[in-house]
Amino acid sequence: MGDFFTKMKNDLGITLNDVQKNAVIKTEGPLLLLASPGSGKTTTVIMRIGYLIMEKGIHPSRIKAVTFSKASANDMKERFTRFYPELPSVDFSTIHSFAFEVVRNHYRKLGIPFTIIEGDHDSDERAGSAGNFQYNKKLMLRHLFKSVVGENITEDQMDELTTYISYIKNKMIPNERWAEVSCDVPQAEEIFKQYEELKRSDSHHVLLDFDDMLTMSNDILEKDKKVLSHYQNRYDYFLTDESQDTSLVQHSIIEKMVSTHRNLCVVADDDQSIYSWRGAEPSYLLKYKEKYSDASIMFMEQNYRSSEEVVKVANSFIKRNKNRYEKNMFTQNPSHQPIEVKHLVNFKEQSKYLVHELDDTVHLKEIAILYRNNSSSIGLMNDFDRAGIPFYMKDADNRFFSHWVVQDILNFMRMAFTDKRPDILEKIHLKFNGYITKQQMQALRRLNNNESVFDNLLKHVKLQEYQVKLLKTSKETFKEMKDMKPLQAIRVIRDGLGYDKAIEKISKSLGFRMDYLVGILNTLEEIATDLESLQDFAERLKHLEVVLKTAKKKKGHEAITLSTFHSAKGLEFEKVYMIDVVDGIIPSKEDRTDHLLLEEAARLFYVGMTRAKKQLTLVTYPYRDGKKVEESVFVTDVKNILDPTRMMKSEPVVKKNVKKINGVPYNPNSISKKEELHVGLAVTHRVFGTGEITEISGEFITLKFQSKEKKLSISACLEMGLLEPLVKT
């Protein structure tokens, strides 16, 4: 054993600490290795595999290493080859590729062809143009949404619908309980049912999505003992990495694989579990001893990445969560500089501040700007591009430019240049205060005389009396817009033509988030600032779309990294800026409604903090989009950690008797006992408004609100005082 560690030190210059060494040599039986950020997890895992081969004499083909993403699997394989160039490679893969192998062999044996119906945007387009929507998941869902709802699905709705489907499959939720899963997409359950039926409509050709590969693989291993035995006998040692991101169906597959030898090493960090919304099961780690009573649990707590200041504050911060293993991350790295909390005047100052900070920086690739939502990146990108600051966008999302709100604004501007195109008016006729009905629009389209659409409406289409004046005014407004600067034109569209009011109405009927749509409009106003003409604005949007595509290719270049917190996991930078750290974004309003969601938001914040090696700056502000916002409760936590006396100094006398739960004033009229809850009770929810209790099941309560149904944790509702009865009970 000593020879192995000595050889690794001499050959590779690697020295392990005591916990890492113990993790390497504990090869038999179940092991849960809890690895804090920057604790040398991958090095320890690769050393453990090397130890199995070189010291225990295990052939590499008998070892299976499963990780969460293809990038992680490739990274581990590359590092293994670098450590042990003379050894044949171990089987590194994702759980999906393993499941695919099981499913492929199963259908090959049955002689039944199958098709994987997943694809990127380009393949969506190709499949659509070829008319093969039944072989493309997103096109199938678009078709079904149109059929069931009667509208075209938006990209945001598509995201939510696919997440909903994936969540149900990864959680292995049976059909009869699908209705319990919250989804803001109209008729989501019905669309899902029809989607599953459509995939099974041809008994001679099976259609599968990525999640089907997992559920089917699990079923095959459950029902076919011969197949299960084949895979069990193939591997003697199993290792899973990033196991905090593993779903219930993935855990179930792995459990079956190791049930004979039980040589399972699970590497994870429950404090970095940030994917419960797509089915990850962080509670599985907390119950690991229930599944494997003889398991060893080891804590890798030494952080080799970050400065003393970052490690101390992050370690204290994450202790706000209760559903976790008690850990104490520490470092022997030197002190550098305190974490900075930067208070700006308002949201608009944020990108200006960052441009000023980074304008003359030399080592740009050592800097990251992290945010929760992709929408935060567009304004940044615009200002960085103008300032000539190069950037790499890890998860660049071009959908902003094709979003229906952006397209609406462009169509309003097109109408300013020509009001003779009914095809353009048709796209926006329900979104301004002309109140043109679908029937009136159809009558207008039939005219086709190349005259002003407004003149045609006024002369040839039957109108309500109130519409006449509105349409005359609208015609003049569009005419005046042609010579306006883009910023002024957008404000006229929003206020003068009533676009904001129209999308508010649409949001209520279709369940869109109005604050998100307003954010898009405000971003468009930022882009429009200082531009001279509507044509300049359209060209600027086209230019930024190209810039965004180019930004995807700048990995490894001397460029600043822009990334969501989620996509930044596993990365590290000398300097990190966490932006938009305000209440309503992180944590979001929905996070506030459930203590489990709030803890996940805290873990997401913790992931962002622990990306920083030496410098960490949290950027907040009191005003956004013309409204007052509060700094994130997580920022308040950090400030209290930095200065423990701060709470006593700053607490105003007038507030000293106000009870707060997670930074939110407690409502003394709220329901505080489970016994007070019953089906049929009308209540007011602090975030979702007026609703009615429709079901109480175990630890959860289902409430029907005006536009949606929500399943919430009873304990969170009671602890945080979220529900108030409409009538005294």
The residue behind tokens 């899963």 is 181
Please answer whether residues 368 and 616 qualify as being in contact, where contact means their C-beta atoms are separated by less than 8 angstroms. Answer: no
Q: Residue 627: is it exposed, middle or buried by C-beta count within 10 angstroms (0-12/13-18/19+)?
A: exposed
pLDDT at 643: 87
**Residue 238 backbone dihedrals phi, psi, to 5 degrees:** -120, 140
Cβ-based neighbour number of residue 486 at 10 Å: 25
pLDDT at 724: 85
For the ranges 262-266, 373-377, 499-503, 574-578, which has the lowest average pLDDT? Answer: 373-377
Domains 2-99+215-302 and 660-725 share a fold: no
Rounded to 10 deg, the angle between the 225-234 and 210-223 helix axes is: 100
Mean pLDDT of 388-409: 86
Architecture of the CATH domain 401-541: Orthogonal Bundle (1.10)
Q: Residue 606: is it exposed, middle or buried by C-beta count within 10 angstroms (0-12/13-18/19+)?
A: buried
Whole-angstrom Cα distance, residue 606 to residue 370?
A: 12
pLDDT band at 593 (very low <50, low <70, confident <90, very high): confident
Reduce the DSSP state of residue 712 to 3 states and report it. Answer: strand
**pLDDT tens for each residue of 71-113:** 888 989 999 999 999 999 899 999 999 999 999 999 999 898 9
Q: Is the pLDDT of residue 664 over 60?
A: no
Distances (CA, A) of 323 to 250, 444, 602: 22, 61, 12
**pLDDT tens for each residue of 119-171:** 754 444 333 333 455 688 999 999 999 999 988 888 888 988 999 999 999 99
Q: Is the pLDDT of residue 310 over 90?
A: yes
The residue behind tokens 């200041």 is 309
**pLDDT tens for each residue of 54-64:** 999 999 999 99
pLDDT at 463: 85
With a pLDDT cut of 70, the percent of the chain lying above it is: 94
Mean pLDDT of 270-296: 88
Q: Where are the beta strands (DSSP E) in 99-200?
A: 114-116
**pLDDT tens for each residue of 553-572:** 787 788 999 999 999 988 99
Higher pLDDT, 31 or 592: 31
Cβ-based neighbour number of residue 716 at 10 Å: 21
The annotated binding site is made up of: 35-42
Q: Is the pLDDT of residue 535 over 70?
A: yes
Angle at 713 between CA 709 and CA 718, to 5 degrees: 110
Q: Is the pLDDT of residue 662 over 80?
A: no
Higher pLDDT, 595 or 343: 343
pLDDT at 274: 92
**pLDDT tens for each residue of 623-638:** 887 789 999 999 999 9
pLDDT at 211: 93
The annotated binding site for ATP is made up of: 35-42
Closest CA to 471 of 445, 502, 433: 433
**pLDDT tens for each residue of 418-430:** 888 888 988 988 8
Reduce the DSSP state of residue 278 to 3 states and report it. Answer: helix
| In CATH, 660-725 is 2.60.120 | no
Reduce the DSSP state of residue 224 to 3 states and report it. Answer: coil
Q: Is the pLDDT of residue 462 over 70?
A: yes
DSSP 59: -
Whole-angstrom Cα distance, residue 200 to residue 597?
A: 35
Most confident of 130-139, 517-526, 651-660: 517-526
With a pLDDT cut of 90, the percent of the chain lying above it is: 50
Mean pLDDT of 192-205: 89
pLDDT at 134: 66
Fold assignment, 340-395+552-650: Rossmann fold (3.40.50)
pTM of the predicted structure, to 2 decimals:
0.83
Architecture of the CATH domain 2-99+215-302: 3-Layer(aba) Sandwich (3.40)
Residue spans per domain, the chain: 2-99+215-302, 133-203, 340-395+552-650, 401-541, 660-725
pLDDT band at 66 (very low <50, low <70, confident <90, very high): very high
